[in-house]
Amino acid sequence: MLFRAWIRWMLLHGLQRFYLLWLARRGDPLGQIAVGSDRLLGSSQYIEEIRQRGRIPAMSGVRVTTDYELCRLILRDRRFSVVTPNHRALPKPIRWVMTKTDLGLPNLAEPPAMLVTDPPEHTQYRRLVGQAFSPKAIVKLEERIVEVTDDLLERLQSKPRPDLIVDFSAQLPVAIIAEILGLPAEMHSTLLKWGDTGAPLLERGLAWSTFRHAIEDLVEVKRYFDHHLDGLAAEPGDDVLSLLVKGGELTRREQVANAALLLDAGFLTTVNMLGNGIALLTRHPDQLELLAAQPELWPRAVEEILRYDGPVRMTGRVASCDVDIADQRVKSGCLVLLSLAGANYDNAVFPDPERFDVTRANAADHLSFGSGVHGCLGAALARLEGAIALRALFERYPDLRLDGPPIPHPLRNLHAYRSMPAKLHAD
């Protein structure tokens, strides 16, 4: 399997990695963004350089847009498909090799994970589990989210220098999604490990070592969920994963792939959102003062955090036919990169976008959760967890401050922090 994995890495990441490094050396903004030369805030010089080239300029063999309306339109337009490893727009020899090197693992960036499937398959997967993540269903979890948050904050008290990522931001969402999926509490540390190694698969241009470690963990993920779903098939419960096996609508591969996706997507975004939010709020004490005086603003503050420093910076779509958009012809098979970070800083939609403002009236219009049929299934859960957890943290520890600069995660497209040491009380 290792040789097939290497061939797959070379086609998916290796060649692209070399190309992106070459672009970066030439000063190309896409290359600079891809190799991590910038922290990818919407105000970055590279995103602004792309914006200056037009609404959807052709760059380095692809189309790119930082325009809010175009990003939203393309995300909602059925003439654009999700990007898959063997998309029909690729040359036939490459598609043949991709088929032959299919590892059969639950990779959240490959079909049949619903993140990278189009209707009608996507519709079927989402229908099976969607009701469990509806706003009405999520509201019922509020009491449990408060309980877990309070317990985590109490535990922080005993740590002289707590890490607000490791000890708090990661622990809350993994506890909640594990309960939703019916997974035992003793699995939390393993689930976090799988999420940490699996998240890079959403990037492009990965190093071989990173890809290999992710694949090795996916073997464990597949083994675990195969066994777990066997048990649910024999005796289904009232958890979300039971919905995947009831009725026998899905193949076992579809079940495992989407079980793994629900796990990773259920906490990765929220971990990153909480970490980014803590960093932002500690850098803007005036906004914390506003929130202390008007706690009803916390849900809006979460939206502004998502707009200002969203956890996903860019996504892509492939035109399934020739499309005329913004006075440009996008040819069938053309890859279109959508800068969500750039869209969230579009001055036409968000005036004075570089200002972090928890009172911003239209902050919830951000595209950090996507839009259209692929809009984030767990958006309501992430929003609720964010509002409860951040408010509780800063109300419980009003003198909280970071103990040195937070350590950023090495990922480029997923913007997050790996570590955030803090002091809870004033000296």
Low-confidence residues in the chain, pLDDT < 50: 37-43
- SS3 (DSSP) at 327: coil
Please say whether the beta carbons of 302 and 383 come within 8 A.
Answer: yes
Counting Cβ atoms within 10 Å, is residue 168 exposed (0-12), middle (13-18) or buried (19+)?
buried
Please say whether the beta carbons of 360 and 307 come within 8 A.
Answer: yes
Spatial CA neighbour of 399 closest among 374, 369, 377, 422: 422
Which pLDDT value is given to residue 42? 42
Which pLDDT value is given to residue 40? 42
CA–CA separation, 369 and 395 (whole Å): 27
CA–CA separation, 64 and 51 (whole Å): 9
Phi-psi region of 60 (alpha: psi -120 to 50; beta: other; left: phi over 0): left
Domain 2-423 belongs to what topology? Answer: Cytochrome p450 (1.10.630)
CA–CA separation, 33 and 411 (whole Å): 11
Locate the domains of the chain by residue range.
2-423
Which pLDDT value is given to residue 295? 97
